[in-house]
Structure 1
Amino acid sequence: MNSTEKTIIGFIGTGVMGNSMAGHILAAGYPLVVYSRTKEKARELLEKGARWVDTPKQVAETASIVFTMVGYPTDVEEVFLGDNGLIRHGLSGSYFIDMTTSSPSLAGKIYQEAKHKGIQVLDAPVSGGDIGAKEARLSIMVGGEKESFDAVLPILKLLGSNVVYQGKSGAGQHTKMSNQIAIASNMIGVCEAIIYAEKAGLDPEAVLKSISTGAAGSWSLSNLVPRMLKADFEPGFYIKHFIKDMKIALEEANRMDMDVPGLALAKSLYDQLAERGEENSGTQALYKYWKS
């Protein structure tokens, strides 16, 4: 998997994060074919030398390693299992790596369908947002066969600084659910802390300097609060996608007969924001819940 001359890589989904991720692969010298529902989103990659194709089918027929980074489980199912999808048209010996946050059960279904055709599939959701994607510092959580993980690890390392094999198919998605559960409650605490500081008459930026390096420190506190304070609510990660993730996590927790009150509360707050038209804002827009 180390030969950039022979290994053609495909990338499906060139949105906020996918565009940067695909760019790292291209910059490493791999021939890259891309597909996205909106061709304009791939314009920068095409200008740098990537080749456009019109369907996932053409990606599967061209590339021996394919990454997908799409929006919802329904999109994942269509890309992998649809009539023009990767599994139907992929070649035996190919590796397909889904980096979308999706359901563990769907990951298992895709893995089984692919295995019948001699295709290896990994579920490899990521965390780190647009910043992590741009700086190739994503945390990548991988499920599937260990041999497949080892085979594509050098390429995964082009995208992330923390690439961890978690276990069998679906394990990557379960790990991402743990990640999202941790973030969900943390985002409430982060916003409440900053709003409290403001209502107490403090300088929130000075407060941030004090608390971000102590026991309260978190990625969200350090990276998203500065955006909140600048009224920058552009998406590093969309609220609508976070709601999707929390819904999956709630469903999985319910299957395990587990109560997750923090997660349920966070989803209810984000649902209210989405109802106010904030679904395409970044997750830091939770700050607006207390400001409205």
Structure 2
Amino acid sequence: MNQQIAFLGLGVMGGYMAANLAQGGYSVKAWNRTPNRPGVEVAASGGATIVSSIREAVETADIIFSCVGDVPDVEEVILGAGGVAEFAKPGALVIDTSTIGPNAARKIGSTLNKHNLRFLDAPISGGDIGAKNGTLTIMVGGEPTDFEESKSVLEVLGKTIRLCGSIGSGQAVKLSNQVLCALHMVGLCEAMQLAQQQGIDPNLIVEVCSTGAAGSWALANLGPKIIESDFRPGFMIKHILKDLRLVQESLKESGEELPGVEMSDRLFKMVQELDNGMGGEQGTQAMIRAYHL
């Protein structure tokens, strides 16, 4: 494990991912735009070396991970002044695990290629639980040789790792994944509402329905949080709204509409507006609050 790794972005998921790589035996230099965040401490406790600049993180790295927010954030970290493209050594492999959509991924990959840098788009699914336990699903787009080179490192982070095609393909699969996540949450909230209206203990919905055809990750992991009114984020509403925006933007080219996406988008936005506009900081399970307005 002589590969040097840089990890940029130590949020709810990135902190655990950096920690897992360090605990897996890799030398990890980690950076976050905002110091003193919980994820920074998680990464440091796991053995990652926290540095104060992108340059310090990436200039000796063989593999550079990024895990940040929206398209502008990724472009700033990777392509902006003082970013990865400026300071990474030639031939380094950049792996972005953010959700940014196929078009942005292809643009970043093309630009990095001009800097003699390689790129994989590798969006992730599994929330903070998957990040902590190293059981993420990782959907990868890029060259097969780059994928094979990175596979042993990705296996530290995830359980299901799949090359989906060329650059942008990982993002395309991830957007489909986010449609499923959004609509699972609608179904989960409405099942809980129906149980309440019928005087049924909602725990029965989790315990019984999880074993049948209606079973899902959302029901098993987020159902109990809805019951307990635990809205702490594993994946924030503001982030699923960003992903649904990317889905809707991708549909504009074809003129197609997805009614379920539009409905879940509306429900999440209702919660986002709560708490003086801070509702988006809560986990996606807080969608249930839209049913209690």
TM-score, length basis structure 1: 0.96
Match of 1:216 in 2: 214
Gaps of at least 5 residues in structure 2 are: none
SS of 1:279's equivalent in the other structure is helix
Q: Residues 225-236 of structure 1 correspond to what in structure 2 (within 5 A)?
A: 225-236=223-234
SS in structure 1 of the partner of residue 120 of structure 2: strand
Q: Which consecutive unaligned segments of at least 5 residues does structure 1 have?
A: none
Separation in 1, partners of 2:32, 2:69: 11
* 1:116-165 Cα shifts (integer Å, max 9, x gaps): 22211100001111111111111000001111001000000000000000
Distance in 2 (CA, whole Å) between partners of 1:182 and 1:116 is 36
| Corresponding residue of 2:12 | 16
- Residues in 2 aligned to 1:194 and 1:119: alpha-carbon distance in whole angstroms: 49
1:279 aligned residue: 280
Q: Which position in structure 2 is the counterpart of 1:145?
A: 143
- After superposition, the Cα gap between the structure-2 partners of 1:25 and 1:157, relative to the gap in structure 1 and judged at 3 Å, is same
Name the residue aligned to 2:131: 133
Maintained 8 Å contact 2:19/2:47: no
- Structure 1 residues 29-178: aligned runs within 5 Å: 29-41=25-37, 42-178=40-176
Change (3 A) 1:48 1:135: closer
For the residues of structure 2 that align with 1:289 and 1:244, how far apart are their CA atoms? 18
SS at match of 1:141: strand
Deviations, residues 96-134 of structure 1 (Å, cap 9, x unaligned) = 100011121111011111112221110000111111111
CA distance in 2, matches of 1:40, 1:97: 24
Shift of 1:89: 1.8
- Separation in 2, partners of 1:15, 1:219: 22
| CA root-mean-square deviation | 1.2
- What is the number of residues matched between the two proteins? 288
Q: The residue matched to 1:139 in structure 2 has which SS?
A: strand
TM-superposed CA distance for 1:59, in Å, is 2.0
Q: Is the 8 A contact 1:59 1:86 kept in 2?
A: no
1:57 positional shift = 2.6
The secondary structure found in structure 2 opposite 1:118 is coil
- Looking at structure 2, the residues matched to 270 and 216 of structure 1 have their Cα atoms a distance apart, in angstroms, of 22
Residue 158 of structure 1: SS of its match in structure 2?
helix
- 2:291 is aligned to 290
TM (norm. structure 2) is 0.95
The whole-number CA distance in structure 2 between the counterparts of 1:46 and 1:223 is 27
Q: Does the Cα contact within 8 Å between 2:70 and 2:242 map onto a contact in 1?
A: yes
Does the Cα contact within 8 Å between 1:11 and 1:68 map onto a contact in 2?
yes
Identify which range, 198-207 or 232-241, moves more after superposition. 198-207
Structure 1 counterpart of 2:241: 243
Residue 48 of structure 1 deviates from its aligned partner by 4.2
Distance between the aligned counterparts of 1:170 and 1:183, measured in 2? 20
Contact kept, 8 Å, 2:91 with 2:118, in 1: the verdict is yes
* One-letter amino acid matched to 1:13: G
Pick closer, same or farther for the CA change 1:44–1:221 going to 2, 3 Å: closer
Instruction: Report the secondary structure of 1:175's partner residue.
Output: helix
| Conserved? CA contact 2:4–2:63, under 8 Å | yes
Give, as a single letter, the amino acid of the residue that structure 2 aligns with 1:159. Answer: L
Q: CA deviation at 1:218?
A: 1.1
Q: Distance in 2 between matches of 1:106 and 1:65?
A: 20
Matching residue's letter, 1:27: Q
Secondary structure of the residue aligned to 2:26 is coil
Q: Does the 8 Å contact 1:139/1:162 carry over to 2?
A: yes
2: distance between equivalents of 1:217 and 1:54?
Answer: 44
CA–CA distance in structure 1, aligned partners of residues 49 and 89 of structure 2? 19
Tell me by how many angstroms 1:49 deviates.
Answer: 3.4
Distance 2:138 2:196 in 1: 36
- Measured after TM superposition, the shift of residue 273 of structure 1 is 0.9
* Secondary structure in 1 matching 2:30: strand
Identity of aligned residues (%): 39
